[in-house]
Amino acid sequence: MRKIYEEEILKKIYEIMRENLYLGKDIKIDMLSKFSDLDMDELDIVEIAMDLEDEFDILIPDRKTDKMKSVMDLYVYLCKVLGVKKVLNVKKVLDAEIGSGEINSRFEILDL
């Protein structure tokens, strides 16, 4: 298995969410975005999880997706499953906007 970096995980989450939810570039998504604030229902979350499973060749059990309420929940879970030992500090992640397609390189890294 190739090494996965935390920035890659976050970027892929944003990309898949934007694609699956048909969100315009005017809609800002960050780590603190709650699924309910994005009008996501259980099916939306499952579809995004399935796409992430395909992308990273992992399995995300339904019992895990049922507990996820935000981008942060999904991100932290993926980091754990993929063996990423450090995660991006949410205070710095607020600068990472889904429409930009880039992750700010000023992120502080926290140990998991």
Domain boundaries, the chain: 6-111
- Alpha-carbon distance values, 8 to 42, 103, 112 (Å): 25, 9, 16
Residues whose CB is less than 8 angstroms from the CB of residue 66 and which lie 6 or more positions away in sequence, other chains included: 42
Question: In this predicted structure, what is the pLDDT of residue 57?
Answer: 92
Tell me the CA distances in angstroms from 24 to 64, 78, 81, 98, 105, one per residue in order.
Answer: 28, 25, 30, 10, 24
Ordered alpha helix ranges (H), the chain: 6-21, 42-56, 62-65, 71-81, 90-93
14-42 pLDDT tens trace: 999 999 999 887 888 888 899 999 999 99
Class of domain 6-111: mainly alpha
Show the low-confidence residues of the chain (pLDDT under 70): 1-4, 86-112
What's residue 97's pLDDT?
44
Task: Tell me, yes or no, if 41 is annotated catalytic.
Answer: yes
Query: Which one of 30, 37, 39, 41 is the catalytic residue?
Result: 41
